[in-house]
A and B are shown apart, each in its own frame.
Chain A
Amino acid sequence: ETGVTQTPRHLVMGMTNKKSLKCEQHLGHNAMYWYKQSAKKPLELMFVYNFKEQTENNSVPSRFSPECPNSSHLFLHLHTLQPEDSALYLCASTSRGRDGDTGELFFGEGSRLTVL
């Protein structure tokens, strides 16, 4: 079992559906990330949360809405997506500030999203 758990692992949705991706980390970290992984493209940083506060929105369309209710949980709410949004969505966490920054991201196994 990894320290970062993502659910669901696979999701198929229509363009008019509303769904959510969930990420939970059991590592005591205080920073969490959403990345989008598409074939043959660099991992795209989407959102960064530090101590539950959003510190980065990398020009992500509003049809993606993040939520971080506490330092252990991160959600990505999906609404009226496009087929080009089909990708692997990766959650990651790290420890910031306490005892220095290690610079190591811990990733979940990802949620494979298919938009029809």
Chain B
Amino acid sequence: AQSVTQLDSQVPVFEEAPVELRCNYSSSVSVYLFWYVQYPNQGLQLLLKYLSGSTLVKGINGFEAEFNKSQTSFHLRKPSVHISDTAEYFCAVSSNFNKFYFGSGTKLNVKP
């Protein structure tokens, strides 16, 4: 089985500042990695995913993430955040596209 750890439950940041949301995973087999975003009163939607190839993955809304196999990490970054990025972000892992394991989420609070 796999597991995901998101160490930061909340990240406050000022508008236009850069942000990094951390994600570490545990697995005995190769995995695929995902970041999802959840806006208030909505379901989760996919931001980006790593399946294979380049370890730097670009997603929607200017977000990107880098897969680091040696550190078992998949941190999410954005060089300049907007108020509209305020949401909860979830990292997820899967080894077979059947079961997907999620972290506990990180609430990003962008302040003006």
Residues of A within 8 A of B (CB): 2, 4, 31, 33, 35, 40-43, 45, 48, 50, 55-56, 90, 92, 94, 96, 101, 103-105, 107-110
* B97 A94 Cβ-Cβ under 8 A: yes
Partner among B3, B45, B49, B103 whose Cβ is within 8 Å of the Cβ of A107: B45
Partner among A90, A101, A104 whose Cβ is within 8 Å of the Cβ of B46: A104
Stretch from B14-22, B36-44, B67-75, B77-85 at the A interface: B36-44
* A107 B99 Cβ-Cβ under 8 A: no
Q: B63 — which chain A residues lie within 8 A by C-beta?
A: none
* A40 B104 Cβ-Cβ under 8 A: yes
Whether, in the assembled complex, B34 has its beta carbon less than 8 Å from a beta carbon of chain A, the answer is yes
Some 26 contacts from A to B, beta carbons below 8 A apart, are: A31-B98, A40-B9, A40-B104, A41-B104, A42-B102, A42-B104, A43-B102, A45-B100, A45-B101, A48-B98, A48-B99, A50-B98, A90-B43, A90-B44, A92-B43, A92-B44, A94-B97, A96-B98, A103-B34, A103-B49, A104-B46, A105-B36, A105-B46, A109-B42, A109-B43, A110-B43
CB distance from A79 to the nearest CB of B (A): 25
Chain B residue at minimum C-beta to C-beta distance from A33? B100
Tell me the complex Cα distance, A107–B90, Å.
Answer: 13
Chain A residue at minimum C-beta to C-beta distance from B41? A109
CB distance from A87 to the nearest CB of B (A): 13
Tell me the complex Cα distance, A31–B42, Å.
Answer: 21
